[in-house]
Amino acid sequence: MPNTRVRKVIVNMRNGWRCLLVLVLYVWSSILPAATDVEILVKGLDKNLEQNVRLFISIEQQKNHALLNAGRLKRLHQKAPGEIEQALQPFGYYRPDINSQLHPLEDNRWQAIYQVDPGPAITIAEFNLRVNPEIQADEAFNKFLNNLPLNSGDVFLHQEYESIKTALLRLASERGYFDAHFPEHIVSIDLEKYEARVQLLFEGGYRYKFGDVMVTGNVLEPELLDRYMNWEKGAEYQLRKLVSLQHTLSDSNYFQSVEITPGQPQFTTQQIPVNLTLTPRNKSIYSIGLGYGTDTGARAKLGYEKPLVNARGHQIKTEFDISEIGNTLSASYSVPVLDPRTDRLVYSVELTDEETDTNESRLQTVGVSLNQTRGDWREKLFLELQQEDYSVADIDDQVTSLVPGVSWSRIWGSDVIYTLDGIRLNIGLKGATEEILSDFNFIQLKTGIKFIHRLAERYRFIVRGSLGITWTDEFVELPSSLRFFAGGTQSVRGYAYESLGPTDESGEVVGGNHLMVGSIEFEHLLTNKWGVALFTDAGNALDSFKDELEIGAGLGLRWKSPVGSIRIDFASALTADGEPWRIHINIGPDL
């Protein structure tokens, strides 16, 4: 019981002190004078200098302080000229002329004016940067040293001086010089001669080598993982090789996450161990996608993928594409070969049913391909056994062909979703002969290019083109999948999908030996997301390149979505009777 009474007394005392404190603060706030308001004007400086001055001067930092009064304001004002001098020195101004004034206004308001003439900027009389022989022999350092932002005769800028030091240390760390330091870093400012002298000595020390790689979470055969490494133990350390390996393993689709970090430098062996932590992906991945295009109508995609079938890195992928004009069921089994970072052997099967206004096709394909990288080019060597049931005009037939071929593709440009400057180029060559499991002879070359260039901040110029050539003496025996047709969203807008091409005696489109399509488009971005476009297309499927081309033109509406531009085009078929209009809708990346 006594303990309970003591606790009550303590609680009451605490509540009493709280009430007293609130009362004192209320009374004190009622007798304090109104806060002093000051307007600060800095004149005579450009925007960057003025901004730095305002960051430096105390009167600017404390102008909204609740306890600012006239006496404190005057003391801050007296400090301001010295603070302005300090603020200008990083920009090379050591002889400023400063005129400061403080004027009282009505209602406890003040105005502080600082008229500043920065004077001449101090220049560098001598810039002496010395490095040890190992650094001097390193090509990456040579490139940096030959393009220094500061040299003798330049205005001495503190920020550039510090950036040189920081860049040297960062480059040293990236290239394995972990003992790098500055034994000497001296800046002498002579105000009488009004010149600066810089003495820098950079010692890189020994360049460390790659050591052992400690792997956690690996699900691949050790030999396969070793083939992903782009260095050998004992090679000179380079951070970019770690970054490249991380990107490569992430792109392999085997792992959910990849973490690569250098370990502590081993001073006895002068090596850097590497820690590689891998988190495998899910054993099975399911996907679904929905879309719409004028050529295909509503479409959907169902997918199943097994990123890792076994420790040898084999993968399985299946897709079922459904649209209003046809369906495609495909499956592939891929195996890493040669350089597993870029090269894969892919076995595939595919069944495609397609029906357009001009033709019908049921195509069954079994194939094998070698996909590999040659420099910046992506190359595909393939061999496909195809059987196709098709109907074009009054021709109904079934044919078989063994088609070898090769294709190359390359993309210039970093952003393929919304490209400001970039190029995509595709080249493909394939053929078949009656001598080897084929019902007809042909050779076919097809190329496509798309060029995007930014004309100004909100303007883009877009050019695309396609060219196809078929060499055959038996065009009538070619199945519809090997004939060329034109028209549609990705061809000549204003015309229906695959509605253009040579016709038979009854006027039905039968397709052509050749293809020629070109497009020019100007795009203006009205806001960060919305834009408009003006375009004209020309092209056709041809029996001869002397045949006439069809022309379409119109206006488009653009919206930048996360998955690429949504394009709505209103196009007129200018060379068709009555110049009819069509709406074309397309969604996807630029390249």
- What stretches of 175-322 show up as alpha helix (H) in DSSP? 222-228, 239-251
So what's the pLDDT on residue 457? 87
Burial code (b: 16+ CB inside 10 Å, e: under 16) for 560-591 equals: beeebbebbbebbbbbeeeeeebebebebebb
Strand extents, DSSP E, 356-415:
359-374, 377-392, 395-412
Spatial distance between the Cα atoms of 553 and 543, rounded to a whole number of angstroms: 24
So what's the pLDDT on residue 394? 84
Which range of residues forms the domain containing residue 259?
A: 209-280
Running along the chain, 591 residues long, what does each successive block of 10 average in pLDDT? 44 50 44 68 93 93 88 92 94 95 89 95 95 91 92 94 95 94 95 95 94 94 92 93 93 92 91 94 90 87 95 96 94 95 95 92 97 93 97 92 97 85 96 95 97 93 97 93 95 95 92 97 94 97 94 96 88 94 90 82
Spatial distance between the Cα atoms of 567 and 564, rounded to a whole number of angstroms: 9
Q: Are 244 and 145 contained in the same domain?
A: no
Q: Which of 304, 357, 288 lies closest to 326 in space, CA to CA? A: 357
So what's the pLDDT on residue 551? 97
So what's the pLDDT on residue 417? 83
Q: Are 312 and 247 contained in the same domain?
A: no
Domain boundary residue among 117, 146, 170?
A: 117
Q: Are 259 and 357 contained in the same domain?
A: no
Q: Which of 492, 483, 444 lies closest to 464 in space, CA to CA? A: 492
Domain boundary residue among 61, 83, 117?
A: 117
Q: Are 234 and 214 contained in the same domain?
A: yes
So what's the pLDDT on residue 18? 55
Q: Are 68 and 189 contained in the same domain?
A: no
Token pair in block for residue 407: 């294709």
Residue 146: exposure state from Cβ atoms within 10 A (0-12, 13-18, ≥19) = exposed
Spatial distance between the Cα atoms of 399 and 386, rounded to a whole number of angstroms: 8
Return the DSSP state at 483. S
Task: Please tell me the pTM assigned to this model.
Answer: 0.75
- What is the number of domains present in the chain? 5
Domain boundary residue among 280, 313, 328?
A: 280
Q: List, edge to edge, every strand of the sheet that includes 97-104.
A: 37-43, 109-117, 97-104
The CATH number given to whatever domain includes residue 69 is: 3.10.20.310
Token pair in block for residue 351: 């069944």
Question: DSSP letters of 304-315?
Answer: EEES-SSTT--E
